[in-house]
């Protein structure tokens, strides 16, 4: 049984003004998962710190006391399949699933998070409002804009919110198709006073996020999370975490990181350093020296991600002394050709040296992340991945090696967004399994079928709405999605259109009206750079 009283707050909620906005902020999964999301924590605490908002939390298994007539209901969406839980939670609150069926008596349903910022279109009909980008400044602007029209009718409220940068109102945009099974012909606002494009909002301060609550019921018990960097300077061409969150930002050591860590150590001894490429902080060595001080010998330290060529013996030793037993690096492939295609600036000897340093520093294990089905990859490249892992095993006897391997999934706003999934990927995963297991290497493939569902949602458009409603009842297997496609035949493109088909560069993409850091022309240039390495 989860008890909210076990939580330790690192902030003090604001005293409320008269008639505050009743708001429910939900995470569409269990509490232990949701409360472990730094993004969810930050948004929730931002609302709690706003004197004009009375916020309650909602998870699939537990809730705070929620208002009888909320005006706003928000969702933080980090995983594609959580849409099922969103629909279930809407039903539990007696709120119509589709925005068009809601009236003045229903709250506005809004959402944010990486899934919706990348491509909200498959879910557009379920949301009244979508917040695109970083919430640090956008959330307060959202609440202030809503306050200005709080007593107006629903349509007036939505039109006003649509004028605020980063706020997307799907119902105010019309999508036309060449035919029901074909490409998109146009995406346009329904009125001239609605902006034609919506710009994702980017927070540019050198003070990044840190936990606002610590609890033993989190997925990582009692962990205090500190964001060291945001985005990644490497810009691997498949990587949503890099392209969607550009530019690369680093937290100030003096003004942000050390004060944040000291706040956290007052309530826990477990610190997690977060970011897509933590060790590429320009002053990471200085941060490491700080954490390595004798007065922090009791601290348990974990690091989310480490660039391979930054794995030093000093780093491994510090982690080992701080109760970490393993390290995770992303290598993508054992083929240097494939790494050039994806812009992974890494050599095989650097991977071997990272493993040697990890062992010398006292770590017991190393996990590598790889990928199959990368555009331009062939069978020889897969063999090179197997050979690299075998070489690694011989070079560092005694270091436990794991290769986690996924299938390439095209993501919106990346150079590979025009490319489909390679159907040969499934066989390549099985081939690697047969090669590595007899050599004492733990191989952990991610589900190929799950990659197909990810791709469907990543490249989907509004025609998927009835399909998502169907599959919610059919189950979350690929077979369920294919069954739904058959049932809806003639009402949307076929399965392969979204999953395996390469799209033309001139094609209007479902997210064409949603602007991020790089234009389509720039992404096409990056794509051509990749193709030149085939």
Among 199, 230, 260, residue at a domain's last position: 199
Task: Say whether the peptide bond before residue 401 is cis (omega within 30 degrees of 0).
Answer: no
Q: Is position 18 within any domain?
A: yes
Of 169, 103, 121, 77, residue with least CA distance to 467: 121
Among 164, 199, 234, residue at a domain's last position: 199
128 near 172, Cβ under 8 Å? no
Check whether residue 45 and residue 133 sit in a common domain: yes
Q: Is position 108 within any domain?
A: yes
Position 305 scores a pLDDT of 80
Q: Is position 195 within any domain?
A: yes
Cα gap 208→96, rounded to integer Å: 37
Of 489, 419, 491, 482, residue with least CA distance to 461: 491
Q: Is position 487 within any domain?
A: no
Q: Which two tokens stand for residue 359?
A: 């062992």
SS3 331: strand
Q: Which two tokens stand for residue 183?
A: 């490409």
Position 477 scores a pLDDT of 87
> How long a stretch of residues is the chain?
534
Q: Please write the tens of the pLDDT for every residue from 268-300.
A: 999 999 999 899 999 999 999 999 999 999 999
Give the domain range for residue 173.
4-199
Q: Which two tokens stand for residue 380?
A: 């020889």
DSSP letter for each residue of 383-431? HHHHHHHHHHHHHSTT-EEEEEEEE----TTSTTTT----TTHHHHHHH
What is the pairing mode between strands 53-58 and 213-214? unpaired
> Which stretches of the chain score pLDDT less than 70?
1-2
Check whether residue 428 and residue 525 sit in a common domain: yes
Check whether residue 163 and residue 243 sit in a common domain: no
DSSP letter for each residue of 422-434? -TTHHHHHHHHHH
Of 289, 331, 323, residue with least CA distance to 303: 323
Angle at 190 between CA 189 and CA 195, to 5 degrees: 35
Please report, in angstroms and rounded to a whole number, the separation of the first and last CA atoms in the chain: 54
Residue 488's CB is within 10 A of a number of other CB atoms, namely 14
Structure letter (DSSP) for residue 122: G
Name 369's bridge partners. 330, 404
Q: Which two tokens stand for residue 130?
A: 């979508």
Q: Is position 444 within any domain?
A: yes
SS3 504: coil
Task: Tell me how far CA of residue 79 lies from CA of 33, 82, 458, in angstroms.
Answer: 11, 6, 11
Q: Is position 464 within any domain?
A: no
Check whether residue 185 and residue 232 sit in a common domain: no
Check whether residue 170 and residue 246 sit in a common domain: no
Of 431, 308, 306, residue with least CA distance to 378: 431
Residue 103's CB is within 10 A of a number of other CB atoms, namely 7
Number of domains in the chain: 2
Cα gap 125→99, rounded to integer Å: 6
Q: What beta strand segments (E) does 27-153 contain? A: 53-58, 72-76, 108-112, 129-131
Check whether residue 178 and residue 84 sit in a common domain: yes
Check which CATH number belongs to the domain holding 133 and give it.
3.40.50.2300
Residue 386's CB is within 10 A of a number of other CB atoms, namely 19
SS3 294: helix
Of 152, 186, 185, 191, residue with least CA distance to 171: 191
Q: Is position 379 within any domain?
A: yes
430 near 443, Cβ under 8 Å? no
In sequence order, the 6+-apart residues with CB closer than 8 A to the CB of 393 are 401, 439, 440, 441
SS3 297: coil
Of 491, 523, 502, 490, residue with least CA distance to 459: 502
Cα gap 288→269, rounded to integer Å: 16
Check whether residue 193 and residue 241 sit in a common domain: no
Helix (H) or strand (E) holding 223, with range, is: strand 223-227
SS3 29: coil
Check whether residue 377 and residue 308 sit in a common domain: yes
Q: Please write the tens of the pLDDT for every residue from 228-279.
A: 999 999 999 999 999 999 999 999 999 999 999 999 999 999 999 999 989 9
Residue 298's CB is within 10 A of a number of other CB atoms, namely 9
Q: Which two tokens stand for residue 20?
A: 């505050």
SS3 274: strand
Position 376 scores a pLDDT of 97
Among 131, 165, 199, residue at a domain's last position: 199
Check whether residue 95 and residue 173 sit in a common domain: yes
Check which CATH number belongs to the domain holding 303 and give it.
3.80.30.20
111 near 117, Cβ under 8 Å? no
Q: Which two tokens stand for residue 442?
A: 């733990």
Check whether residue 307 and residue 370 sit in a common domain: yes
> Using only C-alpha atoms, what is the Rg of the chain?
24
Q: Is position 128 within any domain?
A: yes
DSSP letter for each residue of 484-505? HHHHTTTSS--HHHHHTPPPPT
In sequence order, the 6+-apart residues with CB closer than 8 A to the CB of 396 are 352, 355, 356, 358, 359, 366
Position 355 scores a pLDDT of 97
Helix (H) or strand (E) holding 148, with range, is: helix 135-148
* Range list of H helices, 310-402: 313-321, 336-342, 348-360, 379-395
Check whether residue 419 and residue 520 sit in a common domain: yes
Check whether residue 249 and residue 350 sit in a common domain: yes
């Amino acid at each position: 049984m989860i008890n909210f009283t076990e939580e330790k707050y690192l902030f003090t909620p604001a005293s409320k003004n008269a008639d505050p906005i009743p708001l429910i902020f939900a995470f569409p999964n269990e509490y232990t998962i949701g409360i472990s999301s730094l993004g969810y924590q930050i948004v929730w605490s931002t609302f709690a710190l706003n004197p004009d908002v009375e916020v309650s939390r909602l998870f699939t298994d537990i809730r705070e006391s929620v208002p009888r007539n909320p005006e706003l209901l928000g969702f933080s969406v980090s995983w594609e399949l959580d849409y099922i839980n969103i629909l279930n939670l809407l039903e539990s609150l007696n709120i119509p699933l589709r925005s068009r069926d809601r009236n003045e008596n229903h709250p506005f349903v809004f959402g944010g998070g990486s899934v919706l910022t990348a491509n909200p279109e498959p879910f557009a009909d379920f949301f009244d409002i979508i917040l695109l980008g970083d919430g640090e400044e956008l959330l307060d602007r959202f609440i202030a804009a809503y306050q200005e029209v709080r007593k107006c009718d629903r349509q007036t409220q939505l039109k006003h919110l649509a004028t605020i940068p980063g706020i997307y109102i799907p119902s105010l945009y019309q999508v036309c198709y060449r035919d029901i099974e074909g490409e998109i012909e146009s995406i346009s606002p329904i009125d001239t006073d609605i902006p034609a494009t919506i710009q994702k909002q980017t927070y540019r301060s050198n003070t990044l996020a840190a936990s606002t609550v610590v609890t033993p019921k989190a997925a990582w018990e009692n962990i205090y999370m500190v964001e060291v960097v945001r985005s990644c300077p490497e810009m691997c061409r498949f990587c949503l975490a890099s392209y969607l969150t550009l530019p690369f930002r680093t937290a100030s050591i003096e003004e942000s990181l050390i004060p944040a860590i000291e706040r956290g150590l007052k309530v826990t001894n477990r610190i997690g350093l977060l970011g897509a490429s933590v060790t590429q902080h320009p002053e990471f060595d200085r941060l490491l020296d700080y954490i390595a001080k004798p007065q922090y010998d009791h601290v348990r330290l974990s690091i989310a991600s480490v660039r391979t060529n930054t794995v030093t013996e000093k780093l491994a030793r510090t982690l080992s002394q701080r109760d970490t037993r393993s390290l995770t690096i992303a290598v993508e492939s054992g083929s240097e050709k494939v790494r050039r295609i994806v812009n992974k600036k890494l050599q095989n000897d650097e991977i071997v040296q990272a493993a040697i340093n990890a062992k010398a520093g006292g770590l017991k294990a190393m996990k590598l992340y790889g990928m199959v089905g990368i555009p331009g990859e062939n069978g020889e490249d897969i063999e090179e991945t197997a050979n690299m892992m075998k070489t690694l095993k011989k070079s560092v006897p005694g270091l436990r090696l794991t290769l986690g391997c996924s299938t390439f999934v095209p993501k919106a706003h990346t150079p590979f967004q025009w490319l489909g999934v390679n159907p040969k990927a499934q066989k390549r995963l099985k081939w690697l399994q047969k090669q590595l297991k007899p050599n004492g290497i733990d191989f952990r493939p991610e589900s190929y079928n799950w990659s197909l569902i990810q791709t469907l949602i990543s490249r989907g458009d509004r025609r998927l709405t009835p399909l998502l409603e169907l599959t919610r009842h059919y189950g979350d297997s690929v077979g369920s999605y294919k069954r739904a496609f058959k049932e809806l035949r003639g009402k949307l493109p076929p399965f392969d259109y979204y999953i395996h088909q390469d799209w033309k560069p001139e094609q209007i993409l479902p997210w064409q009206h949603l602007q991020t850091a790089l234009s389509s022309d720039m992404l096409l240039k990056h794509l051509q750079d990749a193709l030149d390495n085939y």
